[in-house]
């Protein structure tokens, strides 16, 4: 016999298979009706789900007109409709959902999935997109910028004066204008601090300066205008390229300054029984501080006393409750309550500062995808200039023509666009992740995340809530359900494992007293063995445990398989050498689980499910999330070896998990993503989240991969026109004066393309 613990939620229509049925919506490509829960293809564009009736419609869909983002999932705020539906769709009708959830689901069904997000009662409005938190950029008109504009105008004026003729006096005037423009460009480097992402000044100024000096000499010596056009073009290209990149970087610089300012808040240091004022830069690891309502956390801390409602990171749009034993990152804001905390990381070691404001660790300087363009500009420019000069010499050109060819080749590659576009994309990627509460350990970690090809989820606590509930109890023989529950509760007494907590809670709710089981031995990943109050041997756990204890389960195999196919975990109970019952446990999908998998699929990263549950249970979960690669029945201690096997097949493996439960798997990964770990004393994980939002964890990998790809493509877009111009010039089909302007065209295209990328 079996007993069902809770009724079906009212108001939730089911289909013939017992799964949730919701209103159909039109295919986003052809308009054909599609069931959102069983759509053949699902995609995310600009943080919005799109449903398609076929693979062909998915391929033909044009996302360029789709710009309105869905609000982000909240732990204690707004839940996205897709997350709620996906969670409930695969829950059996005996899961025990609360009436409030059923009523909310009914509203979604009636609205046909066209309504807004579900909100907490105390919310004032919908959750804004994190991109709205980007710092407003004020257009500065500083002296260095004016000098750049002056240099560019001087070069342009020199080119325009060519329309008046080529007599000697005019050539000299044009040469003087070019020299003045170069002087302004050089003075710019003394008038303001040079950004660390810029190449060496000699790389950018070499071509215009050399051409200006040669132009002045030749105009005085012979009145030749052969170099003046090249000098003017090189000056225009250099100045305009610097200005374009500088404008593109303003949002990054403004946000970096905002982070620095926000994280400089004063606090109070706990000195015995007294409080002492302290600046953020005066704090050291191990010191205690007190943070009250309205204050910003100045350092990464671990809470040792108190609890509070907080905005968990700088610019967060929702609130969470944090209490003793949990961490807070610098920049989090305490909204209600007060906490006493120990400083874990301070100064430039804070999670939100490491890759943005630390000159030694800035991702824009260290990440290979950011350095490629800078190295190309600094070394590739002179190399190409030498090749162009040798080619001109071999053709019998005059020394002035040789210099013109070398200047044009240098100006074609050594541009601000080539040197800095990669750093621009890396900076945008790091800041986009920070706005979602994600911090990377280092620039190398950011780069490795961008190389990921396989994403492995440690199911419980990531894709699953990690809070299972007892859904059913089945007995064999003469036992009664209450006796089975009492035995399991006794075996799990005092356990902090989610299964043990679920069983203990179910026994308490039903008024069942736990059996006095003694001599308990926990076998990780298998279950528990002990002795009942009646003196009989007791085993509670999986099939593998029953096999180890030589207890037959053939009589219950059909029922076990049926439960596992529903996505439940079967907890077998044996007394003596006889199977007496089983407990069916059901865990819900974590909000954002399906979006997390979709992020990986869209980034061409293969999702893998690793779990200690039976194959049938894992396959049911995989079907609900579009995960084809399943690794079931893997004990926690063996998951490190399983990750190594994936890596040995040539994959770059990223593992999503929670510390310390998944430390073995995280430690074996090429890229480790630890939920709710940012700000903690441990800093060994490559990617750390300020919350446990699995959707944002997958976003961290997707944004790193996108930044790496865009950085490489941006360098290619910036350098290609100039290289083509040099090649055309080398065969005599193009004037050297045109080549720098082609390089400027590449810089403009690369910068424009960076602005069109999502944040």
DSSP 295-353: PBP-SEEEEEEEEEEEE-STT-SS-EEE-TT-EE-TT-EEEEEEEEEEEEE-GGGSTTT
Instruction: Give the domain-ending residue among 83, 98, 127.
Output: 127
pLDDT value of residue 118: 36
CATH assignment of the domain containing 563:
3.40.1110.10
| Co-location of 104 and 10 in the same domain | yes
CATH assignment of the domain containing 333:
2.70.150.10
pLDDT value of residue 479: 83
**Minimum mean pLDDT range among 8-12, 353-357, 749-753:** 8-12
| Co-location of 712 and 665 in the same domain | no
> Quick check: is 747 in a domain?
yes
- The residues, ordered by sequence, that sit 6+ positions from 658 with a Cβ below 8 Å of its Cβ are 458, 461, 462, 466, 674, 675, 676, 692
The arithmetic mean of pLDDT across residues 49-62, rounded, is 80
pLDDT value of residue 191: 79
**Model confidence at 93, in pLDDT bands (50, 70, 90)?**
very low
- Residue 636 tokens read as 């926690």
CA distance between the termini of the chain: 56
pLDDT at 37 over 80: no
> Quick check: is 505 in a domain?
yes
Distance of CA 748 to the CA centre of its chain: 28
> Quick check: is 78 in a domain?
yes
Instruction: Give the domain-ending residue among 641, 664, 690.
Output: 690
687-689 and 671-675 beta bridge pairing: parallel
| Co-location of 59 and 193 in the same domain | no
CATH assignment of the domain containing 617:
3.40.50.1000
| Co-location of 120 and 7 in the same domain | yes
> Quick check: is 700 in a domain?
no
Summary mean pLDDT of the chain: 84
| Co-location of 456 and 367 in the same domain | no
Closest CA to 212 of 194, 192, 230: 230
pLDDT digits (tens, 9 = 90+) for 631-656: 998 988 899 999 999 999 899 999 99
**pTM for the full predicted model:** 0.79
> Quick check: is 697 in a domain?
no
| Co-location of 647 and 669 in the same domain | yes
pLDDT at 95 over 50: no
The arithmetic mean of pLDDT across residues 350-359, rounded, is 93
Range of the domain at 373: 143-251+357-427+707-755
> Quick check: is 138 in a domain?
no
pLDDT at 134 over 60: no
| Co-location of 212 and 164 in the same domain | yes
Asked whether the beta carbons of 376 and 324 are under 8 A apart, the reply is no
| Co-location of 247 and 361 in the same domain | yes
Instruction: Give the domain-ending residue among 539, 568, 586.
Output: 586
pLDDT at 422 over 90: yes
> Quick check: is 701 in a domain?
no
| Co-location of 379 and 238 in the same domain | yes
**Model confidence at 75, in pLDDT bands (50, 70, 90)?**
very low
| Co-location of 244 and 162 in the same domain | yes
Separation between Cα atoms, residue 407 and residue 709, nearest integer Å: 31
300-311 and 320-322 beta bridge pairing: antiparallel
pLDDT value of residue 681: 84
| Co-location of 181 and 234 in the same domain | yes
- Residue 181 tokens read as 């423009």
Distance of CA 328 to the CA centre of its chain: 19
The arithmetic mean of pLDDT across residues 695-703, rounded, is 95
> Quick check: is 259 in a domain?
no
Report long-range pairs for 43-52 (Cβ below 8 Å, ≥24 apart): 43/598, 43/602, 44/595, 44/598, 44/599, 44/602, 46/758, 47/72, 47/129, 49/82, 49/595, 49/598, 51/25, 51/27, 52/27, 52/28
pLDDT at 759 over 80: no
**Model confidence at 540, in pLDDT bands (50, 70, 90)?**
very high
Asked whether the beta carbons of 329 and 690 are under 8 A apart, the reply is yes
Count: domains in the chain: 5
- Residue 322 pairs in a beta bridge with 308
**Model confidence at 82, in pLDDT bands (50, 70, 90)?**
very low
| Co-location of 501 and 618 in the same domain | no
């Amino acid at each position: 016999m079996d007993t069902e613990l809770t009724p079906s939620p009212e108001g939730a229509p089911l289909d013939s298979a017992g799964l949730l049925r919701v209103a159909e919506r039109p295919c986003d490509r052809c308009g054909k009706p599609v069931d959102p829960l069983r759509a053949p293809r699902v995609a995310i564009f600009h943080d919005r789900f799109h449903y398609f009736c076929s693979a062909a419609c998915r391929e033909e869909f044009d996302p360029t007109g789709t710009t309105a983002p869905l609000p982000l999932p909240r732990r204690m705020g707004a839940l996205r409709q897709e997350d709620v539906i996906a969670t409930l769709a695969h829950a059996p009708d005996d899961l025990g959902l609360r009436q409030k959830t059923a009523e909310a689901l009914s509203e979604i069904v009636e609205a046909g999935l066209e309504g807004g997000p579900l909100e907490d009662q105390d919310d004032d409005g919908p959750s804004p997109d994190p991109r709205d938190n980007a710092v407003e950029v004020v257009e500065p008109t500083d002296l260095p910028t004016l000098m750049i504009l002056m240099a560019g105008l001087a070069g342009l004026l020199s080119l325009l004066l060519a329309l008046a003729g080529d007599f000697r006096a005019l050539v000299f005037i044009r040469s003087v204008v070019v020299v003045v423009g170069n002087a302004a460009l050089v003075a710019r480097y003394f008038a303001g601090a040079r950004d660390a992402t810029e190449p060496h000044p000699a790389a950018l100024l070499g071509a215009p300066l050399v051409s200006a000096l040669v132009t002045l000499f030749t105009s005085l010596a012979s009145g030749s205008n052969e170099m003046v056009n090249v000098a003017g073009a090189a000056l225009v290209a250099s100045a305009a390229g610097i200005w374009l990149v500088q404008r593109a970087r303003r949002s990054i610089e403004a946000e970096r300054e905002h982070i620095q300012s926000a994280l400089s808040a004063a606090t109070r240091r706990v000195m015995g029984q007294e409080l002492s004022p302290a600046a953020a830069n005066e704090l050291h690891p191990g010191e205690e501080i007190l943070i009250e309502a309205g204050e910003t956390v100045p350092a990464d801390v671990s809470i040792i006393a108190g609890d509070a409602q907080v905005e968990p990171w700088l610019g967060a749009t929702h609130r969470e409750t944090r209490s003793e034993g949990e961490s807070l990152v610098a920049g989090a804001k305490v909204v209600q309550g007060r906490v006493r905390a120990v400083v874990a990381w301070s100064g430039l070691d804070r999670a939100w500062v490491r890759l943005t404001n630390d000159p030694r660790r800035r991702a824009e300087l260290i990440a290979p995808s950011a350095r490629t363009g800078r190295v190309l500009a600094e070394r590739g420019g002179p190399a190409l200039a030498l090749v162009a000069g040798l080619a001109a010499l071999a053709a019998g050109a005059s020394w002035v023509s040789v210099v013109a060819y070398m200047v044009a080749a240098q100006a074609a590659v050594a541009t601000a666009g080539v040197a800095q576009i990669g750093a621009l994309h890396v900076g945008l990627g790091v800041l986009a992740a920070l706005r979602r509460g994600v911090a990377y350990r280092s620039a190398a970690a950011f780069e490795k995340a961008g190389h990921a090809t396989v994403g492995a989820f440690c199911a419980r606590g990531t894709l699953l809530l990690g809070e299972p509930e007892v859904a059913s109890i089945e007995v064999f023989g003469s036992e009664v359900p209450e006796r089975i529950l009492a035995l399991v509760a006794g075996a799990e007494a005092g356990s902090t494992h989610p299964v043990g907590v679920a069983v203990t809670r179910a026994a308490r709710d039903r008024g069942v007293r736990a059996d006095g089981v003694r001599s308990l031995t926990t076998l990780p990943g298998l279950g528990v063995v002990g002795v009942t109050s009646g003196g009989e041997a007791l085993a509670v756990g999986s099939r593998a445990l029953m096999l180890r204890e030589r207890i037959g389960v053939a009589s219950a195999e059909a029922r076990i398989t049926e439960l596992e196919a529903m996505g439940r975990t079967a907890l077998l109970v044996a007394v003596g050498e006889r199977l007496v019952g089983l407990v069916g446990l059901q865990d819900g999908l974590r909000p954002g689980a399906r979006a997390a998998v979709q992020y990986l699929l869209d980034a061409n990263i293969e999702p893998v499910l690793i779990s200690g549950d039976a194959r049938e249970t894992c396959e049911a979960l995989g079907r609900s999330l579009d995960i084809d690669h399943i690794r079931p029945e893997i004990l926690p201690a063996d998951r490190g070896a399983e990750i190594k096997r994936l890596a040995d097949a040539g994959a770059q493996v990223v593992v999503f998990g929670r510390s310390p439960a998944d430390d073995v798997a995280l430690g074996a990964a090429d890229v480790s993503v630890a939920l709710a770990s940012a700000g903690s004393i441990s800093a060994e994980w490559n990617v750390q989240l300020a919350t446990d939002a699995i959707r944002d964890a997958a976003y961290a990998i997707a944004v790193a991969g996108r930044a790496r790809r865009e950085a490489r493509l941006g360098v290619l877009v910036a350098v290609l026109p100039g290289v083509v111009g040099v090649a055309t010039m080398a065969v005599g089909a193009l004037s050297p004066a045109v080549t720098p302007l082609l390089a400027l065209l590449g810089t403009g295209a690369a910068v424009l393309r960076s602005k069109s990328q999502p944040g």
